[in-house]
Amino acid sequence: MNEWTKEQWESIKYNSPLSLFYIYTPMCGTCQIASKMMNVIKEMVSVPIGQANINFLGDLAIEQEIESVPCLLISKNGRVEKKIYAFQSVPYLLETIKTIDENQIL
pLDDT value at 26 more than 60: yes
Q: What pLDDT does 105 receive?
A: 56
Q: Which helix (H) or strand (E) holds 33?
A: helix 29-44
Set out the domains of the chain in order of their start, with CATH numbers.
2-99 (3.40.30.10)
pTM: 0.93
| Residue 4 near residue 50 (C-beta atoms within 8 A) | yes
Q: Does position 91 have pLDDT exceeding 80, yes or no?
A: yes
Average pLDDT, the chain: 93
Give tens-digit pLDDT for 33-55.
999 999 999 999 999 999 999 99
Neighbours of 61 (CB within 10 A): 15
